[in-house]
Amino acid sequence: MDLFRYLIFIIFCVSSVFSQTEQNSFFSPSDTLNIKRRNAVVLTETTLGGITLLGLNQLWYADYERSKFHTINDNSEWYQMDKLGHTFTAYHLGRFGAQTLNWAGVSKKNQLIYGGSLGFMFLTGVEVLDGFSEEWGFSWGDFAANAAGSGLFIGQELLWEEQRISLKYSFNRTRFASKNPNKLGNGILEEILKDYNGQTYWLSANLHSFFKESKLPKWLNVAVGYGVDGLLYGESNLQQVNFPNQKRSRQFYLSLDVDLTKIETKSEFLKQVFNVFNVVKIPFPTLEINGNGKLVGHFVYF
């Protein structure tokens, strides 16, 4: 559910850029401040963010009872997969936010202040709406995860002036969604967003960025992933009541990956396409350590 709401905003932001024109020059970042581009970026992101929050408030939250503002502690739920969803989304919203300001020729400092924090600001707005909903509540764990995602982007820009480590996502369809479709989704599209058992979040590090003098391919990454298995409810006590025989476990992965942004091309349009799809982990042979401590090899894992 959380990932669904946040992906709405990512899609809006990305589509707003691609809908303008297909001319190669349009996609090239401006060398100096371009007032028209900057104003277009600010207006578009502010409008889409406001519309998204208003739409969520009127449509999504309208199905649940309103309440006084309250907080919850959900840090133990879903083996923290939902928190990784927050971090992932905040990171990439910040990345896209900074890149659109770079496209407009905005200074590096303001790119990080106003663009890099875009995910944190937007998700904090969503979190406040949660705080006034009886169904959920303002989660300090979510708030911290949002800050971590924005911090990962901004911190790397300050330290290295580039993104050497990125957050990525992959999905495998599982048998668990059909057992609890209300929580895990009904159909492939819902399952991609709601079935944590099928999701894997990756820290993908670009090797050449750390070894500049090496002959390693500039696009080659090594990735460490985290996933879960057997989670039919966020809370273990609810699962014990309804599915007492279903074990819950964590998985850790080691794999190779591709940094699509490091693939050389003269087309500015293709660069932006690679940039957008770089949120997805490329399938590769993968090693898995499951909850039982058993090492499992996958010829191809996504």
pLDDT digits (tens, 9 = 90+) for 245-298: 999 999 999 999 999 999 999 888 888 889 989 999 999 999 999 888 889 999
Q: What are phi and psi of 170, to 5 degrees?
A: -145, 165
pLDDT of 131 higher than 70: yes
Q: 34-38, 63-67, 87-91, 166-170: which range is least confident on average?
A: 63-67
Element (H, E) at 124: helix 118-131
208-232 average pLDDT score: 96
Q: Residue 7's pLDDT band (boundaries 50, 70, 90)? A: low
pLDDT band at 2 (very low <50, low <70, confident <90, very high): low
CA 192 → CA 43, 87, 127, 150, 275, distances in Å? 31, 17, 22, 23, 21
- Report the distance separating Cα 177 and Cα 183, nearest Å: 8
Read off the pLDDT of residues 288-300 as tens digits, 9 standing for 90 and up: 998 888 899 999 9
Provide the strand spans (E) within the chain.
71-72, 138-139, 165-171, 199-206, 220-229, 249-258, 284-289, 295-301
Whole-angstrom distance, CA of residue 159 vs CA of residue 165 = 12
Q: Is pLDDT at 233 greater than 50 in this prediction?
A: yes
Distance CA 238, CA 74 (A): 14
Task: Name the pTM for this structure.
Answer: 0.90
280: tokens are 């997805």
Cβ contacts of 17-21, under 8 Å, gap ≥ 24: 17/100, 17/103, 17/272, 18/272
Count the Cβ atoms, other than its own, within 10 Å of residue 245.
Answer: 5
Token pair for residue 40? 């277009």
pLDDT at 64 over 90: no
Measure the N-to-C terminal CA separation of the chain; round to a whole number of Å: 21
Give residue 157's pLDDT: 97
Report, as an integer, the average pLDDT of 164-176.
Answer: 96
Judged against a pLDDT cut of 70, whether residue 130 lies above it is answered with yes
Place of tokens 């990756």: 202
